[in-house]
């Protein structure tokens, strides 16, 4: 038997696990229910012991995590397969407008004595940042990344460090 197999822990509803959503709290069994809940972000998860999975039914499509013996494997949208086409489309969405504006700013620069000679370059940078922020926002919404919970956890951690 390999050494890594000795330290794996099978998924059991009556044990405590790290929360896969907020990654700060702990999820544990909710009495009188076939569910688990987080003590920090208060998410409720349905449990599938046979497949070693938990599901977050509070969103559609629900997110599913699989227990690999050490931690939760990456979240997957139930019934949705995100392929390489989505990544390519996101890259094009960020780079194509930025490249077009940058080429125009390079080939048609303002005259040297104009007061706003910096504007085309700033516009190129703002185009890149705005399109990138749209893609990041979509990822946060699709995978339900709890940004507010992260900020609460950081605030709690800094307050504890300040008290020491």
CA dist., res. 115 & res. 78, Å (int): 54
Residues with Cβ within 8 Å of 10's Cβ and at least 6 positions away in sequence, in order, are 52, 67, 69
Please give the residue range of the domain that contains residue 46.
9-77
Residue with the bigger pLDDT between 36 and 157: it is 36
pLDDT in tens, 98-120: 999 999 999 988 888 888 888 99
Of 31 and 23, more confident: 31
Which one-letter DSSP state was computed for residue 54? E
Number of separate helices (H) and strands (E) present in the chain: 4, 7
Report how many domains make up the chain.
2
Tokens representing residue 103 in the block? 């080429």
Q: Is residue 4 part of a domain?
A: no
Beta pairing partners, 65: 54
Which of these three, 42, 62, 77, is where a domain ends? 77
Is this prediction's pTM over 0.75?
no
Percent of the chain with pLDDT strictly greater than 70? 90
Same domain, residue pair 72 and 89 = no
- Specify the pLDDT at position 3: 47
> pLDDT higher for 22 or 123?
123
**Tens digit of pLDDT for each residue in 49-93?**
888 889 888 877 788 888 888 888 877 777 666 678 888 999 999
Residues 95, 130: Cα–Cα separation, whole Å: 11
Q: Which residue, 48, 77, 106, sits at the end of a domain?
A: 77
Rounded to a whole number of angstroms, the CA Rg of the chain reads 23
pLDDT of res. 1: 45
Q: What is the mean pLDDT of residues 133-140?
A: 89
Last residue of a domain, one of 18, 48, 77: 77
């Amino acid at each position: 038997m390999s050494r890594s197999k000795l330290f794996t822990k099978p998924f059991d509803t009556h044990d405590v696990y790290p929360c896969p959503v907020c990654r700060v709290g702990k999820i544990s069994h909710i009495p009188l229910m076939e569910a688990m809940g987080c003590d920090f972000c208060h998410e409720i998860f349905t449990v599938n012991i046979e497949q070693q999975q938990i599901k977050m039914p509070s969103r559609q499509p629900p997110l599913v995590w699989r227990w690999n013996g050490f931690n939760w494997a990456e979240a997957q949208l139930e019934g949705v397969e995100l392929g390489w086409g989505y990544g390519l489309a996101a890259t094009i969405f960020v780079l194509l407008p930025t490249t077009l504006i940058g080429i125009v700013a390079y080939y048609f620069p303002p005259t040297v004595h104009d007061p706003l000679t910096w504007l085309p370059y700033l516009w190129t940078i703002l185009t890149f940042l705005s399109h990138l922020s749209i893609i990041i926002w979509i990822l946060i919404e699709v995978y339900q990344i709890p940004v507010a919970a992260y900020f609460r956890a950081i605030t709690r951690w800094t307050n504890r460090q300040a008290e020491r």
